[in-house]
Structure 1
Amino acid sequence: MRQPSSPRPTAWPRSPRYPYVSGALLVLLAAAEILHARITSATVLATLPLAVLPLLWRGREPRVGLLVVPAALLNFLFRPELLMTAAVAGVMGLYTLARHRVLHPVVLITAAVTGALLVNAGHVAMGVYDLGGRAPAVGADGSLSYFTESFVLAVGVVATVGVADAFRSREESRQAREAAQRELIAMERRHAAAQERAAIARELHDIVAHSVSVIAVRAESAAYTTPDLSPPARDGFRQIAASARSALTELRQLLSVLRADETGAGEAAPVLPQPTLDSLDALLEAHRSGGGEVTLHTAGARPPLLPPSLELTVYRIIQEALTNARRHAKGAAVDIHLGYADDEVRIRIADDGPGPQGPARDSGGHGLSGMRERANLLGGRLTCGPAGPGGGFLVEAVLPVRAGAKSFAEGGYE
């Protein structure tokens, strides 16, 4: 059995706990150094906490380095022996500023080297370089050696900023590679989904669309080729052909959506207007022409600007309810009650057929679940079941208007 690999050492500095742990160790070092050297200078004791304690929060707020580095230089100014704690704190603060690009590397190096030169000049002025009681003469032979500490600090500054900037560049490259990998995986998933959609579209085109087109052609031709056909029968064949052509149009629109990813951006899929509440009359008339009986009752004033997603959902729910009535309760009378309010639309569809009750109305299909999903997408609710002891089936839905407007604004209406 393969053992889980231990985390790499280079991953520890990226841990959220790393700044707190390393900062706490630096605080302990400062306490030990103060006690060992028996430091009593108030200036040194005041600047050392300013150089150490802010480093505890450098992970969340990298700008604390702007306080840490000057405090470390001031500590060095008043304590020329340069406490190890101040040196480490200065390097950590400088690294933090460069690693997070709080300042541009050139600006950061210039500011830090200038600070080192000022501290060195302060040491010269304070007589740190005492030559047997004589103050050093700046400009005399060998006086450049007084600024050796500035040179050493400048080298340390450049090295620290360079290393921090290199680590930053490597981290950015790593993140770019990971982002590219994620994008590649997402692209492969989209490609796989597009292939599945294309396969579904081909199946629908080769099987369903072909069958529907055959129905349309045979019904159209039967109206003219069948001898002694009565006018009602002729009208029935024509209505079958018209319904088949309408179904074929909607099926082609669905196929265009499924093939959108396959065709690419350069080939625009045809877009047809979606049904609205104004299309209900044609839907009810088509149901009546097929031998069904349906009555529409409206209550309340229809709002002038209903979201298209809401109108489409109302149309599809009524359409599916009529389809179920024709399939499971042929010849039943259907009553549709459509009520409008300022904040919601109510739908009540009942038939008096003796057909199957309950979920059997949707056996083998997805009509009822599809109606529920459409209602849920708008934040509404839909219930369905037996209309009463005498038989029949009842569908009731409540659709909020505001949720429909939000769904339309987000582009999720079909």
Structure 2
Amino acid sequence: MSTSLRQRLRVWVASPSYPWVSGGALTAFAAVELVVVPRHSLVIALGVLLSAATLAWRRVRPGVAALSAAAVLLSFAAGSDLYIAAAVSGLMACYTLGRHRVAHPTLLAGIGSALSLAVNAWHITSWRPRSYTLDLLAEWFVLTVAIVAAVAVGDAVRAREETRRERAAAQVRLLAMERRQAAAAERAAIARELHDVVSHSVSMIAVQAESATYTTPDLSPQGREGFQQIATSARASMAELRRLLGVLRTSPEDRTGTTPQPTLDALGELIAQHRSVGGEVELRISGDRVALPTSCELSAYRIVQEGLTNVRRHAPGAHAVVEIDYRPDRLAVRIADDGPGPLGVVHSGHGLAGMEERAVLLGGRLTASPGPDGGFLVEAEIPW
């Protein structure tokens, strides 16, 4: 059986209509069998039909499987012949009882074995001569083995599905924890980068205010004091920023480097790095180039960097297009590729979550979805 056919069969068996369709089909087969084999009493006919019909409710009311099994034993007690429909119904009923664990499997197997022994004892005393006792005991043994096997298979399937659900739940919790940790690490990285940007501006304020007291001619004492207060406030802000950075460090080795933070002017180097590993990328810039806040350019650069990283990781060899659009009040960034795109539902990974964090932190937005012509598309808008 091919994989696709197996998957379709599993989907159909798991659908709500499956027990009704299978129960109805088994009931119809039981009716046909009773017509074809007319040697039966009213009790046998009711038992066979009841055992098949009640299985239609086995998923919404698993306890009806016990009624189905009892009807099978009743029809077998009323006559020496075991009908095919009754045998199938009995096995399905025992499987359902074990599958939904209506009672403990050992108890179910014990009750089934005892009832089958009672039915065979009834046959020994009422239906067959004494010389057939060995054959009837063999029938009891076969029935017991079938009951125990059906209950055991049902319980094994239940245990396997519970294990699978627990494993899936644990994986979901693990992924959620990893995403929270990745988001926290990304927020810390963003804060450290913004610390570099803000600390540079604040330090310039302190230097300019300090130097203004010496370079400004005819400065009044009040103005000199005002500049000194500005310089003092700037230095205090720098100290607060350093303390904040110390809190955001996750380990003693985590240090903020002295290298200047990249801006959109460094996109050429980033694209050259992408091409050096075999990726095709095209850069398109539209609108009038304006001087943007450093935090805006840094976030846009990181979004493009992460977008190209995702292209290399998920669509190697795909052609990517990076578009930078300078608008009157915002910067629009677009990264598109012509790769295969996502195979199923798009799940926000760590990289996408980090890009969204950067855009939202500056009051913007970011969307990631399959492209209209295939591939994958990341769009961000960052206001200034």
Q: TM-score, normalised by structure 2?
A: 0.54
Going from structure 1 to structure 2, the CA distance change for 1:247 and 1:111 (only over 3 Å counts) comes to: farther
Residue 5 of structure 2 aligns to a residue in which SS? Answer: coil
Q: In structure 2, what is the Cα distance between the partners aligned to 1:91 and 1:33?
A: 18
State yes or no: 1:149 paired with 2:139.
yes
What's 1:37 paired with? 37
Equivalent of 1:201 in 172, 183, 191: 191
Structure number with greater Rg is 1
State yes or no: 1:49 paired with 2:39.
no
Q: TM-score, normalised by structure 1?
A: 0.51
What's 2:150 paired with? 160
- 1:157 deviates by 1.2
Amino acid at match of 1:160: A
Amino acid at match of 2:84: M
Q: In structure 2, what is the Cα distance between the partners aligned to 1:48 and 1:256?
A: 78
1:52-63 superposed matches below 5 A: 52-63=52-63
- 1:179 deviates by 4.1
Residue 129 of structure 1 aligns to a residue in which SS? Answer: coil
State yes or no: 1:124 paired with 2:124.
yes
- 1:193 deviates by 3.2
Going from structure 1 to structure 2, the CA distance change for 1:46 and 1:243 (only over 3 Å counts) comes to: farther
Q: In structure 2, what is the Cα distance between the partners aligned to 1:364 and 1:238?
A: 36
Amino acid at match of 1:263: T
What's 1:359 paired with? none
Amino acid at match of 1:81: D
Going from structure 1 to structure 2, the CA distance change for 1:249 and 1:117 (only over 3 Å counts) comes to: farther
Q: In structure 2, what is the Cα distance between the partners aligned to 1:101 and 1:36?
A: 36
What's 2:4 paired with? 6
8 Å CA contact retained: 2:31, 2:49 = no
- 1:45 deviates by 3.2
Q: In structure 2, what is the Cα distance between the partners aligned to 1:14 and 1:236?
A: 76
Going from structure 1 to structure 2, the CA distance change for 1:231 and 1:168 (only over 3 Å counts) comes to: same
- 1:252 deviates by 6.9
What's 2:307 paired with? none
Once the two structures are superposed, what CA deviation does each residue of 1:343-396 show, in whole Å capped at 9, x if it has no partner?
A: xxxxxxxxxxxxxxxxxxx9469xxx99999xxxxxxxxxxxxxxxxxxxxxxx
Going from structure 1 to structure 2, the CA distance change for 1:149 and 1:253 (only over 3 Å counts) comes to: farther
State yes or no: 1:114 paired with 2:114.
yes
What's 1:75 paired with? 75
1:7-406 superposed matches below 5 A: 7-8=5-6, 11=10, 12-38=12-38, 41-125=41-125, 127-131=126-130, 143=133, 145-183=135-173, 185-186=175-176, 189-190=179-180, 192-216=182-206, 219=209, 229-234=219-224, 236-237=226-227, 240-241=230-231, 244=234, 259=248, 263=250, 363=329
Q: In structure 1, what is the Cα distance between the partners aligned to 2:330 and 2:242?
A: 24
Residue 62 of structure 1 aligns to a residue in which SS? Answer: coil
Once the two structures are superposed, what CA deviation does each residue of 1:316-337 show, in whole Å capped at 9, x if it has no partner?
A: xxxxxxxxxxxxxxxxxxxxxx
Q: In structure 1, what is the Cα distance between the partners aligned to 2:211 and 2:6?
A: 77
What's 2:318 paired with? none
Amino acid at match of 2:37: A
Q: In structure 2, what is the Cα distance between the partners aligned to 1:364 and 1:154?
A: 77
Q: In structure 1, what is the Cα distance between the partners aligned to 2:363 and 2:146?
A: 69
Amino acid at match of 2:230: I
Once the two structures are superposed, what CA deviation does each residue of 1:125-144 show, in whole Å capped at 9, x if it has no partner?
A: 4x11235xxxx8xxxxx856
Going from structure 1 to structure 2, the CA distance change for 1:242 and 1:82 (only over 3 Å counts) comes to: farther
Residue 28 of structure 1 aligns to a residue in which SS? Answer: helix
Q: In structure 2, what is the Cα distance between the partners aligned to 1:63 and 1:220?
A: 86
What's 1:306 paired with? none
Q: In structure 2, what is the Cα distance between the partners aligned to 1:58 and 1:253?
A: 65
Once the two structures are superposed, what CA deviation does each residue of 1:218-258 show, in whole Å capped at 9, x if it has no partner?
A: 6478779989753542453355357647866886797689x
Once the two structures are superposed, what CA deviation does each residue of 1:161-216 show, in whole Å capped at 9, x if it has no partner?
A: 22223333333344445445545554554454344323312211222134324535
Q: Number of residue pairs matched?
A: 257
Q: In structure 2, what is the Cα distance between the partners aligned to 1:41 and 1:99?
A: 33
Which consecutive unaligned segments of at least 5 residues does structure 2 have?
A: 252-327, 332-359, 365-384
Q: In structure 2, what is the Cα distance between the partners aligned to 1:241 and 1:129?
A: 111
Going from structure 1 to structure 2, the CA distance change for 1:191 and 1:51 (only over 3 Å counts) comes to: same
- 1:159 deviates by 1.3
Q: In structure 2, what is the Cα distance between the partners aligned to 1:252 and 1:119?
A: 86
Q: In structure 2, what is the Cα distance between the partners aligned to 1:223 and 1:154?
A: 102
What's 1:279 paired with? none
Q: In structure 1, what is the Cα distance between the partners aligned to 2:186 and 2:115?
A: 65
Which consecutive unaligned segments of at least 5 residues does structure 1 have?
A: 137-141, 265-361, 374-414
What's 1:277 paired with? none
Going from structure 1 to structure 2, the CA distance change for 1:249 and 1:145 (only over 3 Å counts) comes to: farther
8 Å CA contact retained: 2:52, 2:89 = yes
Amino acid at match of 1:236: G
Q: In structure 1, what is the Cα distance between the partners aligned to 2:228 and 2:49?
A: 93
Alpha-carbon RMSD across the aligned residues, in angstroms, is 4.1
Q: In structure 2, what is the Cα distance between the partners aligned to 1:61 and 1:249?
A: 69
Q: In structure 2, what is the Cα distance between the partners aligned to 1:238 and 1:364?
A: 36
Residue 4 of structure 2 aligns to a residue in which SS? Answer: coil
What's 2:273 paired with? none
8 Å CA contact retained: 2:206, 2:231 = yes
Going from structure 1 to structure 2, the CA distance change for 1:15 and 1:201 (only over 3 Å counts) comes to: same
Going from structure 1 to structure 2, the CA distance change for 1:242 and 1:99 (only over 3 Å counts) comes to: farther
Q: In structure 1, what is the Cα distance between the partners aligned to 2:93 and 2:239?
A: 69
